[in-house]
Amino acid sequence: MTATIFSAPASLSIWDAAHAADARRPRSIQTQLGASDTICSRRAGYILAGAERTNAGDKRAAILGTYIHQGLLEDARREYGWLIERTVADGTLRGHIDVVQLDAATAARLPKRHRPLEPAEAVTVEDVKTKSSRVWDRVVRFGPTAAEMRQVLLYADLLRTVGFCDVPGQRYLHRLGPIDVQRIRFRFVCRDTGEEHIQEFAFDEWLATEARWWVDRVVEADSPEELRRDHDGPGLSVICDNCPFVKTCWPGVGPGQPAQTILIHDDEDRARALADYVRAHERHREAKRVKEKARAMLDDSPAGNYGDNHLGWGGGNDKEETDVVAMVERFEDADLVVPMVPDEKAMIQILRRAGMVVPRRRAAGQKTARTIKVSRARETS
């Protein structure tokens, strides 16, 4: 028995539903500045000014991160009794804290049914961030970005100065008043592997004041255009590529031109850009020289932990190539016309269109290039 395969209409995609639902989430329609919006000064300015959002961007990775985020937090709430997705706000900022872990003294002020199973050593504000494997090593090595740190500091500062917001579902928390947050914690989760990495810091009042100063400068600006662009622009920054205000922020770009061309107004701008280019080129050249020498020195070293880093090796495997003789036999078996002079690329395309496997064979005496893999030193048991 054979099954009949029907193709779905080309216009129907499950991502259409996901994007529509994401557009209705509170953070997507919120007009008050959110702590998570402090990723860029000018972007925050556009939000406060009520500018039109004209760029939907590609939100698939972010939406997947949201699904993982919501699932992990809800399970933690059920299993551990954590306080999750709690609202904090004042006259300027509004945000939703991923996790608040209360110490024993503060938890004792809550009704028993709302207390955590295990109180924390100190009141802790925690933010869960999902990351791709592409940036995972950088996250593990260097921790949160300045914008991520600013976001969590603002959450903690709102809890310390105002407390939980007086909204349905958390009024019992609002009655606690301001809370003495002592720690902030980042829980990074790799979307591709599930690996978890935690970094914790003592709450720093000076850094929190600096974060609040950043917000105050945005609020005081007469227009968003007075505020700096904190990223390099579309085509160079994924944050700009997916910013809802990218067209407003980078106006007047000619067809086929990089958006960054609008940053050049006169010869002085050109001179500065050229000087930046020369300095960066020299740093790159020197860094390349150092890397090449270090790579050569390590060539016969075994994989393992050395200091703060882990050395690994890839490649060096048997190389494969298309087996043209076997491919001709496949053509004959399938009654396909064999070219008088075998055209490898064309024959491969024909086999693939026919749903047939392209035969491969081991290339005699050839190996794939050996590649070095450097990551943060791995924990040993």
Q: Tell me if 310 sits within 8 A of 376, measured CB to CB.
A: yes
Q: Distances from the Cα of 9 to the Cαs of 6, 18, 19, 20, 198, in angstroms?
A: 9, 17, 18, 18, 44
Instruction: Give the least confident one: 48-57, 126-135, 350-359.
Output: 350-359
| pLDDT tens sequence across 79-101 | 988 999 999 999 888 889 999 99
Name which of 212, 25, 21, 183 is nearest 99 in CA terms: 183
How many Å is the maximal CA-CA distance in the chain?
A: 87
Q: Tell me if 156 sits within 8 A of 202, measured CB to CB.
A: no
pTM: 0.78
| pLDDT tens sequence across 127-181 | 999 998 889 989 999 999 999 999 999 999 999 999 999 999 999 999 999 999 9
Place of tokens 């160079």: 236
Pairing of strands 83-89, 93-101: antiparallel
Distance CA 256, CA 169 (A): 51
Q: Tell me if 102 sits within 8 A of 120, measured CB to CB.
A: yes
Name which of 268, 244, 249, 271 is nearest 260 in CA terms: 249
Pairing of strands 33-34, 93-101: parallel
Name which of 275, 256, 129 is nearest 199 in CA terms: 129
* Residue 192: pLDDT over 70: yes
Distance CA 257, CA 254 (A): 5
